[in-house]
């Protein structure tokens, strides 16, 4: 977990509250984590009726929000004002709204906990509000996580939940789910509903629970392509073709495109060791092995050719110059081209 987010959550759990929290940035997971904790835990259920206000940015002006914030709590020590989707506050980024907020930040009501959940954007640091928000509030700026940071997130999440998970299981889980932290945490929680093996969560357990075939999945297809094993790749494509709803071709092409795109970048890396590729490509140490294998199997010109094949297949799957070919035929032709 992000260190700053962890510190804020620790303080909240210790009931050390700041008058204003401004949560902003590209990764909504951590913003929601703090905002949801405040909403659920700062006040008791009995206190919430009179002392907890939730507003949405698109429905409120800064003046309205600050009017709520300046109220005093009723029969409670404090009140909570939570502003969700704060990036949609119409006057936040103009001079009037920014001045109102700056004025409040300089003299906030100590009995109010005011939280702005400002997702997918950050304040403009060239403007006065953006320059001073970190000085005048408890501010968090979240960033999208890199692929190489996902295993640490999943490992820490598993530890928080009190379960063991093997390294390969973490890699399969991250590759299949992607870098959406909300989805990662939700899918992990679903894993915990089923009985956990005594040794902890294995790759096989992840595949079974998430619905990935142990033999015929996107990871095995990538391995078959890298090994240039036409027969095994054809078997996997046959499996996918029988159930295109469960194994749609567009995400498969996107997965392979991401791999070959990073592989092309790897050809330019000065350090092609495991550690060098992890640093250059922002990938996990486990994934680095596949890139080292691929660099031996594919020269740079073939990698560039494969990227072109993947772009062409993506367009065909979206209806551009596809002719009468169906999804399975397009994927089959693509895989043979990648291997050839």
Do 132 and 189 fall into the same domain? no
Q: Which residue from 203, 219, 293 is spatially nearest to 256, judged by alpha carbons?
A: 219
Do 224 and 319 fall into the same domain? yes
Q: Which residue from 31, 3, 37 is spatially nearest to 17, judged by alpha carbons?
A: 37
The CATH number given to whatever domain includes residue 116 is: 3.40.50.300
Do 247 and 166 fall into the same domain? no
Do 44 and 71 fall into the same domain? yes
What contacts 239, CB < 8 A, 6 or more positions away? 213, 215, 216, 247
Do 107 and 182 fall into the same domain? no
Write out pLDDT tens, residues 54-106. 999 999 999 999 999 999 999 999 999 999 999 999 999 899 999 999 999 99
- The pLDDT value given to residue 1: 65
Domain boundary at 96, 124, 142, which?
Answer: 142
pTM: predicted TM-score of the whole model, two decimal places: 0.72
Do 235 and 254 fall into the same domain? yes
- The pLDDT value given to residue 126: 92
Write out pLDDT tens, residues 236-288. 988 888 877 777 888 889 889 988 999 999 998 888 888 888 888 888 777 88
The CATH number given to whatever domain includes residue 227 is: 1.20.272.10
Do 132 and 31 fall into the same domain? yes
- The pLDDT value given to residue 141: 94
State the burial class of residue 151 (Cβ atoms within 10 Å of its Cβ: 0-12, 13-18, 19+): buried
Band the pLDDT of 119: cuts 50, 70, 90.
very high
Do 249 and 198 fall into the same domain? no
The CATH number given to whatever domain includes residue 180 is: 1.10.8.60
Task: Among 21-25, 274-278, 293-297, 323-327, name the one with the lowest average pLDDT.
Answer: 323-327
Number of domains the chain is built from: 3
Above 90 in pLDDT, residue 220? no
Above 90 in pLDDT, residue 127? yes
In the chain, what percentage of residues exceed pLDDT 90? 52
CA angle 214, 220, 224 (to 5 degrees): 145
Band the pLDDT of 303: cuts 50, 70, 90.
very high
Above 70 in pLDDT, residue 150? yes
Q: Which residue has the higher pLDDT, 213 or 48?
A: 48
- The pLDDT value given to residue 326: 84
Do 7 and 128 fall into the same domain? yes
Average pLDDT over residues 1-22: 93
Do 295 and 222 fall into the same domain? yes
Do 125 and 172 fall into the same domain? no
Do the Cβ atoms of 242 and 205 come closer than 8 Å? no
Do 244 and 187 fall into the same domain? no
Above 90 in pLDDT, residue 134? yes
Range of the domain at 168: 147-210
């Amino acid at each position: 977990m992000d260190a700053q987010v962890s510190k804020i959550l620790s303080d909240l759990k210790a009931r050390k509250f700041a008058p204003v929290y401004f949560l902003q940035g590209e990764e909504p997971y951590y913003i929601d984590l703090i905002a949801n904790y405040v909403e659920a835990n700062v006040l008791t259920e009995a206190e919430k009726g009179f002392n907890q206000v939730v507003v949405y940015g698109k429905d409120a002006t800064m003046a309205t929000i600050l009017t709520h914030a300046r109220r005093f709590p009723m029969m409670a020590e404090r009140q909570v004002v939570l502003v969700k989707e704060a990036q949609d506050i119409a006057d936040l980024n103009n001079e009037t709204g920014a001045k109102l907020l700056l004025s409040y930040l300089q003299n906030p009501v100590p009995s109010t906990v005011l939280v702005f959940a400002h997702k997918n954007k950050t304040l403009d640091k060239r403007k006065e509000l953006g320059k001073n928000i970190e000085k005048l509030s408890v501010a968090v700026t979240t960033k999208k996580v890199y692929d190489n940071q996902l295993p640490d997130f999943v490992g820490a999440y598993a530890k928080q939940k009190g379960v063991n998970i093997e390294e390969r299981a973490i890699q399969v889980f991250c590759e299949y789910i992607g870098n959406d932290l909300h989805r990662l945490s939700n899918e992990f929680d679903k894993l915990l509903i089923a009985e956990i093996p005594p040794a902890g969560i294995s790759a096989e357990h992840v595949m079974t629970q998430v619905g990935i075939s142990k033999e015929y999945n996107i990871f095995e297809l990538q391995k078959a392509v890298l090994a240039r094993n036409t027969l095994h790749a054809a078997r996997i494509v046959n499996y996918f073709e029988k159930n295109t709803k469960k194994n749609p071709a567009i995400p498969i092409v996107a997965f392979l495109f991401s791999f070959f795109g990073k592989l092309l970048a790897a050809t330019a890396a000065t350090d092609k060791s495991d550690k060098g590729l992890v640093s250059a490509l922002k990938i996990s140490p486990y994934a680095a092995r596949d890139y080292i294998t691929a660099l031996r199997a594919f020269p740079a010109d073939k990698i560039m050719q494969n990227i072109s094949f993947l772009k062409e297949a993506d367009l065909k799957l979206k209806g551009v110059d596809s002719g009468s070919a169906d999804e399975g035929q397009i994927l089959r032709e693509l895989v043979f081209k990648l291997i050839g």
